[in-house]
Structure 1
């Protein structure tokens, strides 16, 4: 196991830089994802809010619910530090929710035909894949979605028959998940079995107020002298511009599978190794004051059946 950790450590340290040009973040669109993940329990569909950050030639897709959870955890930590007079000796990180959220993010560089998947295992890892584009058939059928006149398009893509409704007046060729390549912004999409649905929630321009909401920065719990370290994916969210995270490592899908295998066999040893590669311990995840503390993390142990991914093999 130690030998495996050292080989994985080499992957962690191998930080890559990427030549993808950054693109200014102009707006966001949010969707309600309804996904039948377990075909033996089709009525047990737990919705998840997803968000797409939009640039002129780029897009970034992630879980909005995961962003909100990260904000809640960070605010809980800030409150504990505040209650301990800014000199904390112990911190509890309690994730009480058992609802699963999407843990993989997508970067699209449409002009360059580049596509990256990002997954966080303490460190960010990037897998580059071909940018597959659906071959849409655009119809003459239209309907209103939140006062937007949208046009219907259909395509066979990634093992499913998709219907998408897009707004040709929006200057973005993007949408939820891996759906793109239409002359406008996709407002709604679903497959013919209704196992996967993306329903429009909101479209907002990227304003200072929207950035503050996404960061969760109301400054109510700020403690002088204590600098918080961002948790989860909040440190790489494209508030200002869409670009690949600077400290991410580009690896293959096979290498990522090995990392996950090591994590599942020995979670504690894996995370210690990952953090050591960044010169961190559990205390430095929370503050940069140099003061050591005890950190206790609690995550509900709940197993979920997941036999119906969005992307299916072609028959």
Structure 2
């Protein structure tokens, strides 16, 4: 097993070499959200921005959409988010210990959730090596979040980081996929950026925050999937949403409930498949 504590000194040495520099790593993320439609593959470009303090991982479309909305809001304009964003969460890792959090506003219009994840990354390093693009890579495997993952990392890029929550290998993850190939991440581009280019969630500064640990989030997530329209129905019934009549309100509530239940039903292949277990 490879443990992060044994590589901490090496990490700080590498960090000194690149201190003051920020990098953007672009990954292509291919995944199947509905196992009943395995030929329907979603492809989305994701970015992993890294500086000496943290890394931020999110959809490139979300990065662009949020930046546009922020600039428009400064001009007094209201712009809707890009409806084509498939991956709406953000993953933040704080350096040097890579403390990891998932940030999402997918489940509520009133709250943003920040979910800490302290699970260790117990990698099994193998001796197998291949070349991916310009990088000499070594194979590593891990069981994480209900799936078996195979990763290829390169020590030529001295970051103990990677897409999604994956971290704590002796170099950057170039490619990683689960054993069924339902979720595949492939590094496509590397470039230096300035610190101002790193994503900073200034768009929703006034949004209420709910900080949860993983067990608290699992409890919430299971309740949400059973009744994904619960918050909306509560707002509709309390009068927070205006309707011309009770009939119109009930009709709209039934429509929203149906749409959200259908969306949850199709979303049956979460990257963390253990979240869907009873």
| TMscore range, shorter length | 0.5 to 0.7
Matched, 1:125 2:121: no
The corresponding residue for 2:60 is 64
- Residue 134 (structure 1) aligns with: 121
Q: Is the 8 A contact 2:100 2:117 kept in 1?
A: yes
- Mapped pair 1:150 → 2:137: yes
In structure 2, what is the equivalent of residue 308 of structure 1? 269
Moved more, 123-132 or 193-202: 123-132
Unmatched 5+ stretches in structure 1: 1-22, 216-232, 238-244, 274-300
Aligned ranges 1:1-315 → 2 under 5 Å: 26-56=22-52, 58-71=54-67, 93=79, 97=83, 99-112=84-97, 114-120=99-105, 125-207=112-194, 211=197, 235=202, 249-252=209-212, 253=217, 263-265=231-233, 304=263, 305-313=266-274
Contact persistence 1:118–1:124 (CA under 8 A): no
Change (3 A) 1:125 1:136: same
TM-score with structure 1 length normalisation?
A: 0.58
- Deviation, 1:43, is 0.7
Map Cα deviations across residues 187-210 of structure 1 (whole Å, 9 max, x no partner). 1110111100001121111237x8
Contact 1:56 1:172 in 2 (8 A): no
Deviation, 1:51, is: 1.2
Give 1:133 deviation, angstroms.
2.9
Distance, in Å, in 1 between the alignment partners of 2:158 and 2:50 is: 10
Q: Secondary structure at the match of 2:232?
A: helix
The alignment yields a C-alpha RMSD, in angstroms, of 4.0
Does the CA-based 8 Å contact 1:113-1:131 persist in structure 2? no
Return the structure number with greater relative CO, CA threshold 8 A, min gap 6. 1
Q: For residues 105 and 267 of structure 1, what CA distance do their matches in structure 2 show?
A: 26
Structure 1 residue 166: Cα displacement:
0.8
Report the CA distance shift for 1:69/1:155 in structure 2 as closer, same or farther (over 3 A): same
Q: 1:236 to 1:146 in 2, by over 3 A?
A: farther
The answer as to whether partners of 1:114 and 1:128 remain within 8 angstroms in 2 is no
Structure-2 separation of matches of 1:147 and 1:263: 49
Partner of 1:222: none
Structure 2 spans left out of the alignment, 5+ residues: 1-18, 242-258
| Alpha-carbon spacing, 1:248–1:58, altered in 2? closer, same or farther (3 Å) | farther
- How far apart, in 1, do the equivalents of 2:78 and 2:54 lie? 38
- Provide the secondary structure at the position in 2 that maps to 1:235: coil
Q: Provide closer, same or farther for how the CA distance between residues 255 and 133 of structure 1 changes in structure 2, counting only shifts above 3 A.
A: closer
Change in 2 beyond 3 A, CA 1:148/1:61: same
What do the CA deviations read for 1:159-204 (whole angstroms, capped 9, x no partner)? 1111111111212111011111101011111011110000112111
Cα distance in structure 2, aligned partners of 1:269 and 1:26: 48
8 Å contact kept, 2:23–2:192: yes
TM-score (ref. length: structure 2): 0.65
